A and B are shown apart, each in its own frame.
Chain A
Amino acid sequence: MKNLLINLLLRLYPRNWRNRYKEEFVALLEDYPFSLKLFADVIGGAVDAHLNYKAGVVWHLRADIFKRLLLLALVGFATTFTAWIFKTAILQALLDLAANPANTQVANSRFINTDITQAFMMYFWLSLYGGILVASPVAVYLLLGFLRNVHHRDSEKKAELAGVKIEVKQEKRGLFYSIPLLTVCWLVGAAFAYTVLVPSTVKFMFSWTSFVIVKDYIDNLSKLIFWTGLIFEIPALVYLLAVSGVVRRQSLRQWWPGVLVLSVIIAFLMTPSLDVVSVATCSLPVFGMYWLGLLAARLRVRQAEIVA
């Protein structure tokens, strides 16, 4: 029991700290009488180690993190600004869906504005959703690059601890293709949402009332297109994680409970109504997309093995 508690407490500490102090720290904890005060002290020590044990991978790569965040902020700002310029065209494209003469229910309904600030906020959210969606492939590209650097650094550190000097090749190329791949994915997702999901959502919205608040209409539709676009990027993301060697395929497979929880959270954010059926309907495709990515990675590895 004591060993189990010691192991659990030790897991609170950063990996590099454990690599250095684990043995002697465990020996000390074995000698030390267990009490609530000891727990509080060890937890406090773990917080201190995370904050101040500066040899950590994240600390080592702080300049890289800063550079990536800065680049992401610049790209995000540029894409959001571009979406703001085209806001009227985007808005019109969404409003056109309600102007379908074939749909008599919608044709007999009207849009209303209930607040003078609504129009501005509507444009703001529309631009933000659009900007984030367009910038998302760059965000994933930057994240993959960072994770690969962490992976390289980790390998170097392990080799250093084992007394072996290794030269980890910092491959700069190879991830660039992720940007067009992810862009195609979100475009397909957004097109699918616009042509299949949105028309049925519009029909559903107008089936309840003859007057629809324009801001609610735009909010729901832009959210639907935004999340569908992002969800369609999941297979590519999982594929890239597995193929680039950043995460092992076995680990990705073992993460399924976490992915299931995450898919439910995404479903909560995505659906306008929070009922169980809507959440389940939205979370299952997210979960499915994850496995699709894993399947694609598996096929790729098999193909590579056959070629070899």
Chain B
Amino acid sequence: MSSPENNDLGWLSEPALLIMVSLAGGPKHGYAMIEDIEKLAGVKLGPGTLYGALARLEKQGFIEPLPSDDRRKPYKLTALGAATLQSQLKAVGNLARAGLKRLEEI
């Protein structure tokens, strides 16, 4: 398990972050996540990429599957996942603000 402040999502960080943002809106199964991420970020994740990131996130304890009778298993963010996402998004927000401020000074 990783800590929210100092975690490493690895080389799949972008898909992992997109999945976590998607799941922040509520539990979803694989195809629903792909559609949601496409609407949110204009990126269509492939099934291989999606499940690579899902397996990693599950192993790190950031997401967990929900019990379901359907083959399409929904996933939800765990408390650790939510805290990690918040910390990641804050860092991205700070970076974005600093970048925009510098651009204004040009």
Residues of chain A whose beta carbon lies under 8 Å from any beta carbon of chain B: 17, 20-21, 23-29, 31-32, 37-38, 40-46, 48-49, 52-55
Contact = CB atoms under 8 A, between A and B. Distances in A.
Interface residues of B, number: 20
Contacts of B7: none
Contacts of A17: 55
Contacts of B52: 44-45, 48-49, 52
B21 interface: no
A21 B56 CA distance: 12
B48 A44 contact: yes
B71 A38 contact: no
Given A31-B31, A44-B49, A48-B12, A24 B56 contact: no
A32 to B, nearest CB: 6
B71 A45 contact: no
Contacts, number: 69
24 contacts: A21-B51, A21-B54, A23-B73, A24-B71, A24-B72, A27-B72, A28-B29, A28-B47, A28-B51, A28-B72, A38-B46, A41-B48, A41-B49, A42-B47, A42-B48, A43-B48, A48-B12, A48-B48, A48-B52, A49-B52, A52-B52, A52-B55, A54-B59, A55-B59
| Interface SS, A side | helix
- A-B complex: 6 closest residue pairs judged by Cβ atoms: A45-B48, A41-B46, A42-B48, A41-B48, A27-B71, A28-B30
The winner among B30, B50, B51, B71 for most chain A CB atoms within 10 A is: B51
Given A20-B55, A29-B47, 19 more contacts: A21-B51, A21-B55, A23-B73, A26-B71, A27-B71, A28-B51, A32-B31, A32-B34, A40-B46, A41-B47, A41-B49, A44-B48, A45-B46, A45-B48, A45-B49, A49-B51, A52-B10, A52-B56, A54-B59
A28 B70 CA distance: 12
A81 B30 CA distance: 58
| Interface SS, B side | helix
Contacts of A25: 30, 47, 51
A281 to B, nearest CB: 47
Contact of A32 (B12, B47, B59, B73): B47
B7 to A, nearest CB: 16
A28 B50 contact: yes
Given A24-B71, A27-B72, A31-B31, A37 B46 contact: yes
B63 to A, nearest CB: 13
Contacts of B10: 52
Contacts of A41: 46-49
A40 B47 CA distance: 10
A52 B60 CA distance: 12
A43 B73 CA distance: 22
Nearest to B44: A37
Contacts of B29: 24, 28
Interface string B17-59: 0000000000001110010000000000011111110111001
Given A17-B55, A54-B59, A28 B49 contact: no
